[in-house]
Amino acid sequence: MAILSGLSAFPITPTDRDGRVDATALRKLVARLCAAQVDSIGLLGSTGSYMFLTREERRRAITETLGETGGQTPVVVGVGALRTDEAVKFAQDAKAIGATAGLLAAVSYAPLTDDEVFEHFSIVARESGLPIVIYDNPGTTHFHFTPALVGRLAEVPGIVAIKNPTDGTDTINSHLAEHRRIVPEEFSIGYSGDRNCCEAMIAGADTWYSVLGGILPEPCLKIVRAAQRGDAEEARRLDRKLMPLWDLFKKFSSLRVVYALAELLDICSTEPPRPILPVSAAAKREIAEVLQNLPSGSGW
């Protein structure tokens, strides 16, 4: 059975200007996800700004999150780092605190070869003892995992899942089928890129790794559940209602939009880590209008 399935919700990590985690705000975000009964929480992903946080603040975020979940919701923690030894330490920290798995990207200043990435992932999995999810995020790392490399890594003990990007819906079926052929049956295949993940779940993906799910989990869960029970028509109907948000994600970036949503929903008031700037006042008004026009309650 796959270690991850359903909706994996990725919240922001609220911090002050010095990069210190706002524990109260983070717990509030996590409490919303637990109340919605998401299938897992993706802590310290790209939306969680893991690369901007020190080891101490990463540990603080994990501790606060696990304290809020009470061990009832699986937590996947970003453990990526430029150096392999640092990634091992981050993964060891996550395991010691109680994380379910680690999310590991091929982060590097210099371009990496497939063999270098294979060694990096193998060492982190072996030396940390934490189950590892491959994070294929070429938009930020500029490294793309080929099917051959995924197949090799899927045979490494402790590497249990992959979080794939989606550039569009036309190739999801063939991409998923190719991955199914090369990984063990229990290996979890999931996708990110919220705009396209409804189609990924309809195609039979195990997991939707969702940015919006980290701030508005309920509509995302409804899409996932519809897809899981084979109701593609309903999943697509719900997804269409979110199209104005997907358009905002494309226009301003999902990271900036969810920071604005956190404030508009009165969850917390925090800014992205510098040098990333928050959206302009005009953009925030545009986001507020879209939010106001979204269905509420049974409207989904």
Would you state the pLDDT for residue 298?
65
Nearest to 153 by CA among 116, 193, 201: 116
CB atoms within 10 A of CB 34: 18
Would you state the pLDDT for residue 93?
98
From the list 89, 163, 222, 284, the catalytic residue is 163
Q: Tell me if residue 242 falls in helix, strand or coil.
A: coil
Beta strands in 44-146 (DSSP E): 75-78, 101-105, 132-135
**Quick check: is 222 catalytic?**
no
Would you state the pLDDT for residue 300?
75
φ, ψ (nearest 5 deg) of residue 155: -90, -10
Is 47 annotated in a binding site? The answer is yes
Looking at the domain covering 6-231, what would its CATH class be? alpha beta
150-190 pLDDT, tens digit per residue, is 999 999 999 999 999 997 888 999 999 999 999 999 999 99
**Quick check: is 89 catalytic?**
no
Would you state the pLDDT for residue 149?
98
From the list 135, 191, 209, 259, the catalytic residue is 135
Beta strands in the chain (DSSP E): 6-9, 40-43, 75-78, 101-105, 132-135, 159-164, 188-191, 207-210
pTM, full prediction: 0.97
Q: Can you tell me the distance from the alpha carbon of 263 to that of 278, in angstroms, rounded to the nearest whole number?
A: 11
Residue boundaries of the structural domains of the chain: 6-231
User: Which alpha helices (H) appear in 136-208, and where do they start and end?
Assistant: 138-141, 147-154, 172-182, 194-203
Would you state the pLDDT for residue 104?
98
Sites in the chain below the pLDDT cut of 50:
none
